[in-house]
Amino acid sequence: MSRPIIATINQKALKHNLSIVRSLTPKLKIWAVIKANAYGHGINNVWSLSDTDGFALLNIEEAVMLREHGWEKPILLLEGFFHPKDLYIIDRYQLTTTIHSQWQIKALENIRLLNPISIYLKINSGMNRLGFHQKLFNTIWNKLIYLKNIRDITLMMHCSNTNNISKVNKYFKNIQNLIKGRNCLCSISNSACLLWHQTVSYDCWVRVGILLYGASPSGNWFDISNINLEPAMTLSSKIIGIQTLKTGDTIGYGDSYTVKKPQRIGIVACGYADGYPRHAPTGTPVLVDGNMTHLVGTVSMDMITIDLTNCPRASIGSNVELWGNIIKIDQVAKAAGTLGYHLMCSLAPRVPIKIIC
């Protein structure tokens, strides 16, 4: 028997979540965002999302792989290309590329392509990572529309703070100013905008990641509990050891937990080297054979320790859900001071994956 930890990827849940997103924006096209190995769910499992209108990702190699597997609908490179020569691949495989820097425009001017390509013109809307300053938009737009290597241009922006309503309002204003008097395709919304802000009213294409995987863009499961998404990833393992401890005993590295009254502790085969967050504190929820309990002590590389006070029947071999349908990844992430995004992308390669179709 191998070590009992396993990540289960539920392809039905991916498909279901896409259909929920579709029902929220029936008139818009959807980019299913599958960067970071489909947020840790595996780039090979994205075919269950094939009802999407397009896939958005970062690596050109993955884009080529999708084409070679027969994907004919659009593919968007969210960070664009990293070298002028990449344009030959973009041309050959008809990829849509983001343009965020002057050197990329120069590259497009100087190259001879077989067919014109679709581009996403990225405008810096206050995140101050990638994109052109808004003041340059007119000039750049007026230049790009005459480039024969360009088929069409979509304005892309990314909101820096969807939790702050004044930031979102500023974002709205920026969009309005930019598109005024111009018949311009836009891609403005990510998952949070789509759920909670009317930015979709400007969109032709929404870019949706986290919702497809069944977690919340805000980090609070409660915020999405009403839209019926299904967690697509379950991380589970088993109890591989039991300790019955007396008052004053300590658990784990640094004696980080001291037993206050006689307590049964379960040792679970899952640690930070599996992608479980090392900063998860005592109290982080864990499910044992269907019963809620919690972590005690520090997370080690290969193990965690859990309280079995409320699980008298738990024994070696009992099933443990670290996150999944009952314990939401958002809850574990929140306890550890991070986001579901982070935990799903951090699933370690050593964890075996089981696919449910």
Ligand X SMILES: *Cc1c(COP(=O)(O)O)cnc(C)c1O
Residues 122-141 that bind ligand X (CB under 6 A): none
DSSP state of 229: -
Query: Contact with ligand X (CB under 6 A): which of 15, 41, 100, 158?
Result: 158
Three-state secondary structure call for residue 140? helix
Which of the ranges 10-18, 41-49, 141-149, 189-197 carries the binding residues for ligand X, by CB under 6 A? 189-197
Query: Contact with ligand X (CB under 6 A): which of 13, 14, 28, 33?
Result: 33
Q: Is 156 annotated as a binding residue?
A: no
Nearer to ligand X, 60 or 303 (CB): 60
Asked whether 305 and 267 are in contact (CB, 8 A), the reply is yes
Q: How far is the CB of 142 from ligand X (least distance, A)?
A: 24
Catalytic (active site) residue 253: yes
Which of the ranges 99-107, 206-214, 286-294, 327-335 carries the binding residues for ligand X, by CB under 6 A? 206-214
Q: How far is the CB of 175 from ligand X (least distance, A)?
A: 15
Asked whether 307 and 293 are in contact (CB, 8 A), the reply is yes
Is 229 one of the binding residues for ligand X (CB under 6 A)?
no
Provide the residue count of the chain: 357
The DSSP string of 70-110 is: T--S-EEETT--SSTTHHHHHHHTT-EEEE-SHHHHHHHHH
Residues 56-85 that bind ligand X (CB under 6 A): 78
Which x/- pattern, by CB under 6 A, does the window 208-227 give for ligand X?
xxx------x----------
Q: How far apart are alpha carbons 115 and 124 in whole angstroms? A: 28
Q: How far apart are alpha carbons 77 and 54 in whole angstroms? A: 11
Q: How far is the CB of 255 from ligand X (least distance, A)?
A: 39
Q: Is 350 annotated as a binding residue?
A: no
Q: In Å, what is the CA distance from 232 to each residue of 56, 62, 101, 299?
A: 19, 21, 36, 24
Residue 264's H or E segment, with its range, is: strand 263-268
Q: How far apart are alpha carbons 38 and 33 in whole angstroms? A: 7
- Count of other CB atoms within 10 angstroms of residue 182: 10
β-pair partners for 292: 287
Q: How far apart are alpha carbons 65 and 163 in whole angstroms? A: 36
Catalytic (active site) residue 334: no
Amino acid identity for residue 334 in this structure: K
Which of the ranges 66-74, 204-212, 307-315, 320-328 carries the binding residues for ligand X, by CB under 6 A? 204-212
35, 122, 238, 328: the active-site residue: 35
Query: Contact with ligand X (CB under 6 A): which of 8, 11, 48, 190?
Result: 190
106, 143, 173, 253: the active-site residue: 253
Q: Which residues belong to the annotated binding site for substrate?
A: 129, 301
Q: Which residues are catalytic?
A: 35, 253
Site residues (vs ligand X, CB under 6 A)? 33, 35, 78, 158, 190-192, 207-210, 217
